[in-house]
Amino acid sequence: MKKNSITLTFGVGLVAGLMSSSALAQVSDNVVRISILNDMTGIYADAGGKGSVVAAELAAEDFGGKVAGAKIEVVSGDHANKPDIASNLAKKAYDAEGVDVIADGGSSAAALAMQNVSRDNKKVILLSGPATAEITGKACSPYSFHWMYDTYALAAAPPEGVLKRGGDTWFFITADYAFGKSMEAEATKRVQAGGGKIVGGVRTPLDTPDFSSYLLQAQGSGAKVMALATAGSDTSNAIKQAQEYKVIGPNTQVVTFLMFINDVNAMGLKDGQGLISSTTYYHDLDDGSRKFAKRFWDKMGRPPSIVQAGVYSSVVHYLKAIAATNTDDAEKVAAKMREMPVEDGFTHGAKIRADGRLLRDLYVTEVKKPEESKGPWDYWKIVATIPGDKAWRPVEESECPLLKTH
């Protein structure tokens, strides 16, 4: 793992009142060690990757590089979206490298593997990259937190609007792993409940360079809607190629469920204009979002993705819980995290449910037309807001045993 030690002696005042040096002995090895495990070089590297490390470092910076008298250290590793590598890295981090918490998580399959290791080792894991709702469903854990989005919430917004506009026949192009399958399943429920019909679908390998055969199958199905249950560069590649093959037109529209701002940048406004998706963070949403985005932009040369913003927010909340409890004991820290409302520059009074789901507002976005953009990275307009108490899977529908006792 690469190390990125934070030894700053200043902070920005976010949590100054919570910091304490009175309990060094209660922090293991006098270091709070945060490991960013994600995809550093593959299709999710832009959305997570090194930017997630920078986001965690900015969180540590807010605490002046120390919490409860102990130094904060950020390390990182690349699991290449492979569950076996992710599991081994997580075991090594917890067992041999003194890591207190893993953050980001990357792809859903890799994150589920690391969540199992987290549970077995009774260590906290903060998941911002993965989307599968199983993280707070059957796989839920008292030590895991799902921070920014999931397949249940992301599947909710697009079908309703598209069905109202006459898009009643759907064809799915689905990533053939946990995220894609979960997204397709959740979206299918919404489409069918709204009176729509699924007329076909295909499964695609992760990191597919050529979508032509899948796009032609979608076109041949006669579906009015081509639904992309994909993410990262797979989504931007599929959309660019759909434009090239003229799959998108007056009789066929494309629906995306998870689109990073980085994806819009990759495909360009000309190809992406009008695409509907949803998010819980946009760098130009409000003053707090813009302030954090500037700090990140100064280091990375671009605004943060939803994943990177989630890493920052989740690590800040984790460090606040350590400051409040004067320990890095996972049981106490996890309990305190669920107890405290989440407050940071762009999150206000959000609650964490017993299953680890952060109940934050969800924003429905539309990609701007080229002439609507006012400058670099001005790509989205917010067209609707789904409140945090409405966006996520209801308790009564969950299979998480942790919710049965609350």
What does the pLDDT look like over 311-330, one tens digit per residue?
A: 999 999 999 999 999 999 99
Is the pLDDT confidence value at 239 over 50? Answer: yes
Distance CA 36, CA 18 (A): 24
Region 149-158: what's the mean pLDDT?
89
Distance CA 136, CA 393 (A): 9
Provide the Cα torsion 89, 100, 320, 47; round to 10°: -10
Distance CA 356, CA 402 (A): 9
Q: What is the pLDDT of residue 111?
A: 97
Assign 20 a pLDDT band (cuts: 50, 70, 90): very low
Secondary structure letter of residue 140 according to DSSP: -
Listed as own residue / partner, the contacts of 372-375 with beta carbons closer than 8 Å and 24 or more positions apart are 373/269
Is the pLDDT confidence value at 33 over 70? Answer: yes
Do the beta carbons of residue 325 and residue 332 sit within 8 Å?
Answer: yes
Q: What is the pLDDT of residue 36?
A: 98
CA-wise closest residue to 104 among 127, 77, 135: 127
Q: Could you identify the residue written with the tokens 């080792």?
A: 121
Q: What is the pLDDT of residue 213?
A: 95
Assign 404 a pLDDT band (cuts: 50, 70, 90): confident
Secondary structure letter of residue 221 according to DSSP: T
Q: Is 119 exposed, middle or buried (0-12, 13-18, 19+ CB in 10 A)?
A: middle
Assign 233 a pLDDT band (cuts: 50, 70, 90): confident
CA-wise closest residue to 315 among 132, 116, 128: 128
Distance CA 8, CA 53 (A): 16
Residue 37 one-letter amino acid: L
Tokens at 267, concatenated: 């495909």
Q: What is the pLDDT of residue 406?
A: 54
Cα distances (angstroms) measured from residue 187 to each of 158, 170, 284, 295, 306: 9, 10, 28, 36, 21
Assign 10 a pLDDT band (cuts: 50, 70, 90): very low
Residue-wise pLDDT for 68-103, tens only, equals 999 999 999 999 999 999 999 999 999 999 999 999
Is the pLDDT confidence value at 2 over 80? Answer: no
Q: What is the pLDDT of residue 93?
A: 98
Q: What is the pLDDT of residue 226?
A: 93
Assign 178 a pLDDT band (cuts: 50, 70, 90): confident
What residue ranges define each of the domains in the chain, with the CATH number in brackets? 2-149+284-359 (3.40.50.2300), 153-280+362-393 (3.40.50.2300)
**Backbone dihedral region of 98: left (phi > 0), alpha (psi from -120 to 50 degrees) or beta?**
left
Is the pLDDT confidence value at 405 over 80? Answer: no
Distance CA 276, CA 297 (A): 25
Residue-wise pLDDT for 339-391, tens only, equals 999 999 999 999 999 999 999 999 989 999 999 999 999 999 998 888 988 89
Distance CA 89, CA 166 (A): 47
